[in-house]
Amino acid sequence: MLEQCVDSILSKTQYPNFEIVIVNNGPRQPSEFVYYRQIAKDARVRVLHDERPFNYSAANNLGAQCANGDMLVFLNSDTAVLAGDWLDEIVMWLERVDIGVVGAKLLLPDSRIQHAGVVMGLSGYAGHVFAGEPEGRGSIFGFAEWYRDYLAVTGACLAIQRELFERLGGFNTSFVLCGSDVELCLRVRQTGMRVVYNPFVRLRHHESATRGSVVPDSDYEASYTHYLPYLQNGDPFFSPHLSHWSTAPALRKRDERTPLEFATAHLHALTEGP
C-alpha cells in the first residue's frame, strides 16, 4: 500500500515543490527495508524510523517536526493520488488567510465515496457523510461535489499550515489510532479559522488496509471528552432534521436515538464491562 501511495505522488503530482516524509512506525519486514532504501534515493523522499509503540498521532507529529515545508499534508499510507492537480487544489485554498484545514474527497476501490466531510454525531461519535454513495448522486443535503465548510475532515488526507499546526501543538497523542484528526480540526475551528472540504482533491483510499480497524477503548473515551459539546448541541453544518444513523443523507425519524444517548451508553459499556 505504501509503495502505491508514494509512487502515485511522485508520478502524478504537478505541483513542483514538495517533499515526502515517510514515518515507519509499524511492523518491520525485510521487504519494507528494501523498499525504503530504494525510495530514499529520490531526493524528494525521506524515511524516518520511529521505534516507539504505535501511536498514529505521535507518528504524524514526528513527520511534521522533520518536514521542511510551510504547508503540511498528512496522508495515510493506504491512499493513492488520482489526479495531477491534487496538491495545487490544496495549496490554492490553504493560501487563504481564513482557511485552517483543507480536506479531500476519498474514494473506495470500487469508486464509491469513503469520505466527503465529517459530521459530528453521525453514526454515534463522528462519521463520514455520503460514505458508501456513488459520486454525483444528489441528496437532501446536496452533493458531495460541492465545496463545503465542516467542523472536521479525516486525517487520511488533511492539509494545514505548519505555523497553525505548531501553534496548536499538533495532533493530540492521547488518541492512539482514531479521533485526533477530528479533535485537531475542532481546535482549528475554535481559533476562528475554517475547515474546508475540497471535492476536487480526489484520492483512492483502501480504508484500514494497513493498520486495521480495531479502535482502542481509550480512543472512544478521548473522543467522548472532546466531542461532548457537539454531541450535546449538534453540528452547525448539519441539519437537526437529518438522521445521524444514515451516512446517505436522510430525514430524521421521530423516535431516533440521539448521538449523545448512544455515545454515553457506549462509553458506559466500555468502562463498566459486560
Tally the domains of the chain. 1
**Is 193 inside a domain boundary?**
yes
273 has a pLDDT exceeding 90: no
**Is 219 inside a domain boundary?**
yes
89 has a pLDDT exceeding 80: yes
What DSSP string runs through 141-159? T--TTS-EEESB--TTEEE
State what percent of residues in the chain have pLDDT above 70: 96
Structural domain span for residue 236: 71-272
How many Å apart are CA 179 and CA 21, to the nearest integer?
22
**Is 114 inside a domain boundary?**
yes
**Is 61 inside a domain boundary?**
no
Going from the C-alpha of 269 to that of each of 89, 90, 141, 264, the distances in angstroms are: 43, 41, 33, 9
C-alpha cell at 120: 459530528
Strand runs labelled E in 43-112: 45-49, 71-75, 79-81, 99-107
Identify whether the C-beta of residue 161 lies closer than 8 Å to the C-beta of residue 100.
yes
**Is 31 inside a domain boundary?**
no
The angle subtended at Cα 185 by Cα 173 and Cα 55, nearest 5°, is 20
Q: What is the value of pTM for the model shown?
A: 0.94
Q: What is the mean pLDDT of the chain?
A: 95
Could you report the per-residue pLDDT of 254-268, keeping only the tens digit for each? Answer: 999 999 999 999 999
28 has a pLDDT exceeding 80: no
Name the 3-class secondary structure at 245. coil
**Is 25 inside a domain boundary?**
no
CATH number at residue 172: 3.90.550
Checking 92-100 for CB contacts under 8 A at 24+ apart, the result is 93/196, 93/198, 94/159, 94/160, 94/161, 98/193, 98/194, 99/193, 99/194, 99/196, 100/160, 100/161, 100/164, 100/188, 100/189, 100/191, 100/193, 100/194, 100/195
Could you report the per-residue pLDDT of 187-245, keeping only the tens digit for each? Answer: 999 999 999 999 999 999 997 655 556 899 999 999 999 999 999 999 999 999 999 99
**Is 189 inside a domain boundary?**
yes
Report which of 134, 103, 108, 130 is spatially closest to residue 206, judged by C-alpha positions.
Answer: 108
Over residues 169-177, mean pLDDT: 98
Q: Going by C-beta distance under 8 Å and a sequence separation of 6 or more, which residues neighbour residue 245? A: 123, 256, 257
